[in-house]
Structure 1
């Protein structure tokens, strides 16, 4: 599928970029170097421009093979990256996906995650026809719990244990009935 851009009001959702007009790589490296970010996003390390380039390339490839929709969350006037939101593990047969979101350390506490995730959910339900989107986070991540609640997710039971032995909280949101 081709990447879709979304006007999310205060923020603009667009594909991650690393070109002569706009380069998200330095801000990606800053975000992924942050201690709090590394605490919760453990499966990627972006310590070099090459690693950041691979990350941007990976996200583009995931769009192309219908595996993941991933957006840079950007300020609309400058295009400056303030986070990333995505719908991953897309399953069009069952109409399901898993949502993910992170915010650059300099932009935390400004409602970026709620605004971006709400826009991604609208696209998932309306544009992709999904019927169910899950959201998971470590039990210790209170900010993610607030994001899930504000975005209309319902918590599913007790925390499960992840592969790393960390308790994960699972939330679900289903397509609104029209």
Structure 2
């Protein structure tokens, strides 16, 4: 399963992605709002989990490869979320790119392809996204995609202790009817 955009190939993960994925997650700018760098072992586990999620749910955070160069830029895709929040289970659109690819519209481009796939092929009625409140870059992408903040849905991310500085998240919603390619 592969999604394409003008500049990206969104595909399943491969062993060759480990080193570039570890490298992009070693950048403090990339992990500013995430819980730290990623080890090679964690990358392999992440890839396995995403590929398995794709097999189960038809979607995942896809490896985002630059069509022009074949370079792994990061990931973009839809992730099925079933943790304990008022809005789950849900599908979340998400992205993470190497900082050298920021500001070029790649996150928005890839996310739009993921949204088209989710609303079209998967038949979803709503897609969520969320981040820590201070992550202005990701929030701007969500807003460019037409997503609207749900202030009543703020939550402590269950993957982190409640007292962790990155625990508190703000959700954004996009119903299918509001999505304009």
Same fold, judged at TM 0.5 (above): yes
> Structure 1's 90 and 66: CA in aligned 2 closer, same or farther, altered over 3 A?
farther
CA-atom RMSD, angstroms? 2.5
Q: How many residues align?
A: 167
What pairs up with 1:77-116 in 2 under 5 angstroms? 77-89=68-80, 96-116=90-110
Alignment TM-score, normalising by the size of structure 1 = 0.82
The aligned runs of 1:24-35 (5 Å cut-off) are: 24-35=17-28
Match status 1:127 vs 2:118:
no
Residue aligning to 1:144: 138
Query: Which segments of structure 1 move beyond 6 Å, counting only runs of 4 or more?
Result: none
Structure 2 CA distance for aligned equivalents of residues 52 and 77 of structure 1: 24
Name the CA distance, whole Å, in 1 between partners of 2:21 and 2:6. 22
Q: Which runs of 5+ in 2 are unaligned?
A: 83-87, 157-161
* Distance verdict in 2 for CA 1:160–1:7, change over 3 Å: same
Encode CA deviations 1:66-87: one digit per residue, 9 max, x unaligned: 2852211111133211121121
Task: Name the stretch that deviates more: 123-132 or 81-90.
Answer: 81-90
* 1:12-38 per-position Cα deviation (integer Å, ceiling 9, x unaligned): 2111211xxxx1111100111111222
2:57 pairs with 1:56: no
- Return the TM-score normalized by structure 2: 0.81
Cα distance in structure 1, aligned partners of 2:168 and 2:124 = 27
Tell me, in whole angstroms, the C-alpha distance in 2 between the residues paired with 1:161 and 1:96.
14
- 2:9 aligned partner: 12
Unaligned runs of 5+ in 1: none
Contact kept in structure 2, 1:84 and 1:103, CA below 8 Å: yes
